[in-house]
Amino acid sequence: MTIEQRLSQTPVIPLIQASDATIAVQTAKALLAGGLSVIEVVMRTPEALDCLSAIAADVPDAIVGAGTVLSAVQAQRAIGAGSKFLVSPGLHANVVETSQEAGVPIYPGVATPSEVQAAWNMGLRTLKFFPASLVGGAPMLKALGSVFRDVKFIPTGGVSAANLADFLALDAVLACGGSWLTPADAVNSGRFNEVTALAAEAAAIAQT
């Protein structure tokens, strides 16, 4: 099953930011228990690649990818660590080319029609919309979707349980991403049951 097929069933991508591989694996297992199986590990800590690799090895039922990928070198390292997809905050040709050459899906961030058009001409049809809540939210996505009819978006940034349904109601939206599903205080305190509960809530919203 492809990533996009998996997302068509439960269109939510939780973000994990971790500095400890054991905690990252426990978080991923908690998310999976709540019904979310496509997981993005953000490259914001020195240990992020180790965390990604550990999840890829120890949580085989999850599809794990790398987020906040800023350069071609980072992209190569993430792919080498087992990343099944890449996500970037912006659109950069070298990162896109590295991903495409490796045959790994990439979802670069866009915020304007010009960026969407540039990505479209790179052959990309699934894009991250970031930061979603600050660049027009659902109304902006509705407008973009009316023009770029063969493009799907993954809004991230300011998405929460409160507005998840609004975004997912749009035909142009493939899935939503967010860190609200993995609150740092719960993760760092080992309260993984709270992560599972948040994942289950999001999955229920998405499926209705």
pLDDT at 202: 98
Render pLDDT for 143-188 as a digit per residue (tens, 0 to 9). Answer: 999 999 999 999 999 999 999 999 999 999 999 999 999 999 999 9
> Which three-class secondary structure state does DSSP give residue 164?
helix
pLDDT at 136: 96
pLDDT interval class at 22 (50, 70, 90): very high
Separation of alpha carbons 198 and 119, rounded Å: 33
Average pLDDT over residues 21-31: 98
Only one residue has tokens 């070298």, namely 94
- For residue 1, is pLDDT > 90? no
Does 40 qualify as catalytic in the annotation? yes
Neighbours of 45 (CB within 10 A): 15
What pTM did the predictor assign?
A: 0.96
User: Nearest 5°: phi and psi at 24?
Assistant: -60, -45
Instruction: Select which of 4, 29, 97, 128 is catalytic.
Output: 128
pLDDT interval class at 118 (50, 70, 90): very high
pLDDT interval class at 69 (50, 70, 90): very high
Average pLDDT over residues 125-145: 97
pLDDT at 208: 86
Does 128 qualify as catalytic in the annotation? yes
- Burial of 166: CB neighbours in 10 Å, binned 0-12, 13-18, 19+: middle
Domains delineated in the chain: 3-195 (3.20.20.70)
- Burial of 189: CB neighbours in 10 Å, binned 0-12, 13-18, 19+: exposed
Average pLDDT over residues 186-205: 97
